[in-house]
Amino acid sequence: MVEQFQNHITPDSQWSTYEANVQSYRGLSMSAQSLYLAVGAILLGLGDKVPFFTVFVLAMVTTWYVFFPVIFARTAVVDFHKFNFGERFSKDGALRTAREDSKLSERAYANVLGGRRLRANVASNIDMPPGQNFRTMRQTRLKLDVFIPASMTVVWCIFAVYFAVFK
């Protein structure tokens, strides 16, 4: 498994290393979107439909297929290491007993498509103040990792509708 090769990073610094990776991915995502939007605006002005819609599709694929799942998975990995989930939870997301061998794996917890139920199991076993639940997508992450890409998507859709209807 991947976990066996990660011993070169001390447990104390693992979460901060992964958090730095998340920040890099966010920056790369915004750089890519900025370039796509600049090229899209130029093509919009020139009236070239095929190149414009090609860049539009590339921008959407880059945002929602490449960066969103990667950033989401990396934020889950940050939580995994920051809150020491591997030592605290079993492979099914229950609290571990002292003798239990099955540890929660980083890969299973961070799985974007298949890890939802597992993350919910872990979250249900975390003591939180009354009325609060533990979530991977907390308020700041929602703003940075969902709202900003969604607003870029809205800008792209406005460009595309304008181009399709008025050009």
The mean predicted confidence, pLDDT, of the chain is 89
| 161-166 contacts, C-beta under 8 A, 24 or more apart | 162/44, 163/44, 163/49, 163/52, 163/53
Residue 137 has pLDDT above 70, yes or no: yes
What are the pLDDT digits (tens) for 37-54?
999 999 999 998 999 999
| pLDDT confidence bin for 136, thresholds 50/70/90 | confident
Report residue 62 as tokens. Answer: 């880059």
| pLDDT confidence bin for 132, thresholds 50/70/90 | confident
Lowest average pLDDT, out of 10-14, 81-85, 106-110, 125-129, goes to 10-14
The structural domains of the chain, with segments of one domain joined by +, span: 10-95+102-126+133-166
The whole-number pLDDT of residue 29 equals: 96
Per-residue pLDDT averaged across 71-96, rounded? 91
Residue 5 has pLDDT above 60, yes or no: no
The whole-number pLDDT of residue 6 equals: 55
Residues 6+ positions from 103 with CB-CB distance below 8 Å: 86, 87, 89, 90, 91, 96
Q: Over pLDDT 90: what percentage of the chain? A: 61
| pLDDT confidence bin for 150, thresholds 50/70/90 | very high
Distance CA 99, CA 120 (A): 24
Residue 66 has pLDDT above 60, yes or no: yes
The whole-number pLDDT of residue 7 equals: 58
Report residue 81 as tokens. Answer: 């290491």
pTM summary value: 0.83
